[in-house]
Structure 1
Amino acid sequence: MQLGTRWAAGAEPPARLSPEFVAQIRAVEADLPPDEEGIARWTLTWLEGRPVAELDTGVIVEVDHAGRVTVRHDDEDEFG
């Protein structure tokens, strides 16, 4: 795993993320309560060369083994 960066929800994500990945991040942010925007923070890591962004609220946006951008919550079984 390689650590990437952190940024506040609503701020510009790192430029090296694909447009599809950024679109999913924006969709998650659109569902945040107004008091979370700018306070909740994303943490970007790279796992096997694929981006994984986790919001402080536990929402995870990642690229799966097939190259699809997926959204899940950290309490969901990632293998189920």
Structure 2
Amino acid sequence: MQLGTRWPVGGTAPERLPSVVVAAVNAVEDELEALDVDASTWRWTLTWLEGRPVVELDDGTVIRYHPGEDTATVSQPDDDDDAEA
């Protein structure tokens, strides 16, 4: 069993995350900074689903790891709205 954790935007991601997930976290944080979003109180939440990391930001952004391809996908909260339309 793996326990999850939380860390602040701009903080250091847990070392056990795959590098592509950390890169995705950094890309989301860079985008927030470029858009001048005040995310100073936001936190990332790491959970494990079937042994795979799932990282969620307080705004609903979700990063999922795909070990077979060693890739990560980022889903923005408005992505789900588009899928329902």
- TM-score band w.r.t. shorter chain: 0.7 to 0.9
Identity of aligned residues (%): 50
Greater fraction helix = 2
Q: Deviations over 1:9-54 (max 9, x none)?
A: 0000000011111000000011113421x31100000000000000
2:75 aligned residue:
72
Determine the C-alpha separation between the residues in 1 that align with 2:7 and 2:20.
18
Question: What stretches of structure 1 of length at least 5 have no aligned partner?
Answer: none
Query: Secondary structure of the residue that 2:27 maps to in structure 1?
Result: helix
2:49 aligned residue:
47
Q: Which runs of 4+ in 1 moved over 3 A?
A: 64-67
1:9 aligned residue:
9
1:63 CA displacement = 1.1
What does 1:3-42 align with in structure 2 at a 5 Å threshold? 3-32=3-32, 33-36=36-39, 38-42=40-44
TM-score, structure 1 normalization: 0.80
Greater fraction strand = 1
Determine the C-alpha separation between the residues in 1 that align with 2:64 and 2:77.
11
TM-score, structure 2 normalization: 0.76
Distance 1:49 1:74, change over 3 A: farther
Question: What stretches of structure 2 of length at least 5 have no aligned partner?
Answer: none
